[in-house]
Amino acid sequence: MDLNSLANEDFCYLATTGRVTGRTHEIEIWFALVPETRTLYMLAGGRDRSDWVKNLRKTPEVKVRVAGETFDGRARVVEASAEEDELARRLLVEKYERTPGRLQNWRRNALPVAVDLAV
């Protein structure tokens, strides 16, 4: 599968394992994909309060679906103030911001999460 062709899709679907129930939970979320590194980035507006973030902290093995293609992956919270932190924020705002400045609070305050896609 050519990941470049999926990078411009509007949404992806992230499936995590519920930390309490053990059941699969799927969300629709904005994403940025870096095909060269097979890394997908998302921003959690609710930060650590987001259920999906709590789930992936307990069980980092996730599934990601983009345009009907499903990938296994390993999720991780991106370290604050690391180079990757700024990359994730920049890529998502560049992809989704239609009105200059509109997503700046989200960019500044959201929690970056990366999923390293399996080969």
For residue 76, give the nearest of 51, 59, 94, 95 by alpha carbon.
59
Q: Report residue 94 as tokens.
A: 């560049």
Q: Is the whole model's pTM more than 0.75, yes or no?
A: yes
- Residue 69 maps to which CATH number? 2.30.110.10
Contact 94, 67 (CB under 8 A): no
Is residue 57 classed exposed, middle or buried when 0-12, 13-18 and 19+ CB atoms within 10 A define those classes? middle
**pLDDT band per the 50, 70, 90 thresholds, residue 1:** low
State pLDDT tens for residues 41-56.
999 998 899 999 999 9
For residue 33, give the nearest of 98, 100, 108, 88 by alpha carbon.
88
State pLDDT tens for residues 66-106.
999 999 999 999 988 779 999 999 999 999 988 887 888 88
Q: What is the pLDDT of residue 71?
A: 97
Question: 34: domain range?
Answer: 3-117
- Give the chain's domain count: 1
